[in-house]
Structure 1
């Protein structure tokens, strides 16, 4: 991995028109470059609202092919700003076949890789199984001028297997575009537990694998289109942590561009002291391929 890489996390609200949201994206990317970023990461499904709060066939109209209009636009921005960009799109692969897909662009604007979300939730407010087919591209880092990016998406962040497999494939950092927040009906104690668990599990991936973690979340309240619930209060809280889970940068719950240098030398230092990869008992892990050990 190149040394001296600075990452920017673009955290914004998803409400308003498509033009409004794209203006936020473009402004955030320009600000990221002005702050010295080499790599910019956008939040999950950044082109608009988090439409998975309900099941409605009309929402499939939001999907687009890859390559397509959004990849052309992001590629042009990557080229103009001299940035590596990680985006997150609703991919129309074929009629009736859709994915939640991350895309990666090199500084020259080329679309150089994609990752299709592997773990798909189906919970109140997060009805993603209605829209997305599970990914079929596996856990393969994408090589860029900013390093080998282990790109995963939101619900993937709760699974240590995904983080481990990206690490074993040579990722220099783990990157999670995300859309997660509170049910406004939850009390303050429950909200705190959920947010702390979200941070803790990802910091655990950093520690267990000796690798930096970048998590980019949306912010702001988005109503439930069905009006069956009060909607979701996305908590923001985007962050970057180091290979011992140490905080390198943390955002609040408001729109921002959060930048942080990626201290690449810390990976080697940490893995020498905590050689978890060396001491893995790969001969004893066959049961991980089972749903449950009865």
Structure 2
């Protein structure tokens, strides 16, 4: 049965976990933490990016495509059953096999009755040392009209969820388009970490940038943000590097970027926060960014560069 809270309060949870090369082990960890979050009153639970597997994009390997699943498929069916049993809205992540040769990095959102509320297919796909995602993932459809692709919030019983994924979090356009479409919260399932050989000062700058840009999206759109990230050191399958140490630091912040909950860089765990459903409206009345947008002057944003 869905939990009943004060009408203007939403209890949310972000899951920060280590992952295994055994999908069953990773999903068992996810399930344990989801259940704990639900026991602590969470109505909305958000898992990190690609939580069922190691972060396989450190190297290019065609055998990895065997990990991909259709939707519905084993992982989505498992998450759906959990959402229904616990009476929660659940945001998970799946390496989706859409058809032969077309694979996506996909967030799935399940309603409290276990039904599929919607999906979001990652739109911005990186291709950097240690993050060779373009080899594996096709970008989401920018103009798909079923409400489940592109920058379209997913309607659920706990509100409109602006689900984005990892690399999407660096783009203000994505957050703004979700806000303009009525998103009530921005959600960024993430898998990001350090090159182990980077200097400590560089690692600190990277982490600070990651936190700052997402808090900036909260501020610029007057929306809360939920950003779960993984922890643990995962080896490079190609053995060309020392691997990635995922930096955790999952957080939940309010519509002025204020921290409501924040994890450390090492421990698995659950972040719980209560969101005031009225706060975005209140903040927008005194910080009316959306009112003052000069939409008549922004045409060049559609250009790759301005000559």
State the TM-score bracket (shorter-chain normalisation). Answer: over 0.9
Deviation at 1:64, TM superposition (A): 0.6
Equivalent in the alignment of 1:274: 287
Moved over 6 A (4+): none
- Compute the TM-score of the two structures, normalised by the length of structure 2: 0.94
Aligned with 1:262 (options 267, 275, 285) = 275
Q: Match for residue 60 of structure 1?
A: 65
Q: 1:85 aligns with which of 90, 111, 129?
A: 90
2:299 counterpart residue number: 286
Segment drifting more, 264-273 vs 230-239: 264-273
1:270 Cα deviation after fit: 0.8
CA distance in 2, matches of 1:35, 1:158: 31
TM-score by length of 1: 0.98
1:198 and 1:264 map into 2 onto residues whose CA distance is: 25
- In angstroms, what is the RMSD of aligned CA positions? 1.0
1:118 aligns with 2:130: no
**SS of the residue 1:178 aligns to:** coil
Q: Where does residue 173 of structure 1 map in the other structure? A: 185
Residue 40 of structure 2 is matched in structure 1 by 35
Q: 1:269, 1:284 → 2: CA distance?
A: 27
Distance 1:39 1:62 in 2: 27
Aligned residue pairs, count? 294
| Distance (Å, rounded) in 2 between the aligned partners of 1:262 and 1:188 | 34
Query: Unaligned 5+ residue runs, structure 2?
Result: 1-6, 142-148
The offset of 1:16, in angstroms, is 4.5
Give the counterpart of 1:104 among 106, 109, 112.
Answer: 109
List runs of 5+ in structure 1 lacking aligned partners: none
Q: Pick from 9, 18, 26: which aligns with 1:13? A: 18
Alignment partners' CA distance in 2, 1:118 and 1:229: 27
Match of 1:140 among 152, 172, 192: 152
Give a deviation string over 1:180-223, Cα, whole Å, max 9, x none.
00001011110100000000000000111011011010110000
Equivalent position of 2:132 in the other structure: 127
Q: In the TM superposition, what is the alpha-carbon distance from 1:268 to its structure 2 partner?
A: 1.2
Residues 197-212 of structure 1 mapped to structure 2, 5 A cutoff: 197-212=209-224
Match of 1:231 in 2: 243
| Structure 1 residue 15, shift from structure 2 partner | 2.3
SS of residue matched to 2:197: coil
Give the Cα–Cα distance (whole angstroms) in 1 for the partners of residues 90 and 97 of structure 2: 21
Q: Distance in 2 between matches of 1:18 and 1:171?
A: 32
> CA offsets, 1:67-123, max 9 Å, x none?
111111100000111110001110100000001000000000001100000000000
